[in-house]
């Protein structure tokens, strides 16, 4: 089982490393961070660099493809080499997955046409503009396509995937060993739960209209 | 506000990147990954490398020190250069923090003597052997010393810290923007919640006796 985590300039670190940490513990899995070129790739805050150990060409047919998001997912969406690699990898993948605005990259590659999918809550309109209606769920399975909500949701997605791939006991083992027993001191992790003023502020700052995802009206 | 995240060979990636992702969003924060030498540092799975952008000597007095854990925390515990840096940094830090077995490193540096602290549930006895009684809580504050449980707990610790440092609204904003609204499909994230057979299996495999943390009997 080969897992490829795509890196591109200004990716969001936890989008990649959250699910990586869990999925890479799959017995027998071989995991690679891949990018156009080998070497360090800087994140959206510029203070972190993850090393791509393989080029895209060196990992042409992974079983699991994972695309992290970032505030500038355009970097990947506008890169023909990345889109071509994604389409080719998807042709033989068992799972094609994304976290956060990584789904915009999958959509830009044409892989989400007619599918159920999601993205970061502030990127719903961008996903719609690519012809895909966001569901607003945290983790969305549609066949082999698995998309998840913002940043930290990739950890939940990874647990779901581990269960589907290797069974409940393996998923529970990984949850136990990573002590994923979340106890956030606030309950502000979604636009439905956060203080309305905060949500409105961020919608205004980012120029996003207040439109609900399908099925939440 | 300067934040230093310590890297050492075979660290656990999510221990570092989970809290990094949240803490680095603190307004005005400047975050550095630091290690004995600049350059890539490989994790416990060997499939990930994070770049240390600064040497320890280059970041002598961070406001927040964060020490990730790893299955081989001995790498850091037995390194006099790391322990000396920790003691010196701690002398002026506002917060000295750890995730998972990172607390063993703080304890080895003598920074947890007589304090309340915690670590990964499979490392309780190792913390005890260093003279510190693990509390079994997910995030433990004792003055400026903040330790957290295994791997994923650093995300909760970071939210607590953001609240203490910058107030509830900043912490909630970061929670909202990282969509930290956990929805794990299993409830096996602690030895109290996971299937007993799994817990027993891992205690046996790692040679850990079944002793409860203080206050949980």
Please say whether the dihedral angle defined by the alpha carbons of residues B160, B6, B50 and B152, taken in this order, is positive or negative: negative
- pLDDT at B115 (0 to 100): 97
pLDDT of residue B68: 98
In this prediction, residue B207 carries a pLDDT of 79
The pLDDT of residue A171? 98
Mutate to test the interface with B, among A33, A189, A191, A204 (most CBs of B within 10 A): A189
pLDDT in tens, A178-215: 999 999 999 999 999 999 999 999 999 887 765 555 44
Q: Do B17 and A12 touch (CB under 8 A)?
A: no
Task: Give pTM, 2 decimals.
Answer: 0.95
Query: How many Å apart are CA A50 and CA A17, to the nearest integer?
Result: 9
Q: Do B175 and A194 touch (CB under 8 A)?
A: yes
B133 CB-near residues (< 8 Å, 6+ apart): B116, B127, B213, B214
Q: A159 vs chain B: nearest CA distance in angstroms? A: 7
Task: Choose from B42, B153, B180 for mutation: most chain A CBs within 10 A.
Answer: B180
Q: What is the pLDDT of residue B208?
A: 72
Question: What integer pLDDT is reported at residue A217 of this predicted model?
Answer: 35
CA distance B116 to chain A (A): 19
What is the reported pLDDT for B216?
44
DSSP secondary structure of A54-81: EEGGG--S-SEEEE---TTTHHHHT-HH
Instruction: List the strands of the sheet with B2-6, edge to edge.
Output: B54-55, B30-35, B2-6, B64-67, B95-99, B145-148, B139-142
A14: which chain B residues are within 8 Å (Cβ-Cβ)?
A: 17-18, 20-21, 178
Active site residue A100: yes
Q: What is the enclosing helix (H) or strand (E) of A169? A: helix A168-177
The whole-number pLDDT of residue B155 equals 98
Cβ-count burial A55-77 (b if 16+ within 10 Å, e if not):
bbeebeebbbbbbbbbbbbbbbb
- Choosing from A64, A82, A86, A100, which is the catalytic residue? A100
What pLDDT score was predicted for residue B205? Answer: 87
Residue ranges of chain B with per-residue pLDDT less than 70: 209-217
pLDDT at A213: 52
Query: What pLDDT score does A7 carry?
Result: 98
ipTM of the complex: 0.95
- Give every residue of chain A whose pLDDT is below 70, as ranges: 209-217
What pLDDT is recorded for position B7?
A: 98
């Amino acid at each position: 089982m080969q897992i490829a985590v795509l890196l591109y300039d200004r990716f969001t670190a936890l989008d990649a490393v959250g699910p990586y940490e869990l999925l890479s513990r799959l017995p027998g899995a071989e995991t690679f961070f891949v990018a156009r070129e080998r070497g360090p790739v800087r994140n959206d805050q510029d203070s972190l660099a993850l090393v791509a150990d393989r080029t895209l060409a060196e990992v042409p047919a992974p079983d699991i493809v994972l695309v992290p998001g970032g505030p500038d997912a355009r970097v990947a969406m506008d890169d023909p080499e990345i889109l071509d690699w994604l389409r080719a990898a998807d042709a033989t993948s068992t799972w094609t997955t994304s976290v956060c605005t990584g789904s915009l990259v999958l959509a830009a590659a044409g892989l989400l046409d007619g599918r159920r999918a999601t993205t970061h809550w502030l990127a719903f309109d961008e996903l719609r503009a690519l012809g895909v209606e966001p569901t607003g769920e945290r983790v969305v399975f549609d066949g082999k396509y698995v998309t998840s909500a913002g940043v930290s949701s990739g950890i939940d997605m990874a647990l779901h995937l581990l269960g589907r791939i290797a069974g409940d006991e393996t998923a529970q083992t990984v949850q136990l060993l990573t002590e994923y027993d979340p106890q956030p001191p606030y309950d502000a992790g979604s636009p439905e739960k956060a203080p309305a003023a905060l949500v409105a502020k961020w919608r205004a700052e980012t120029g996003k209209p207040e439109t609900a995802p399908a099925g939440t009206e």
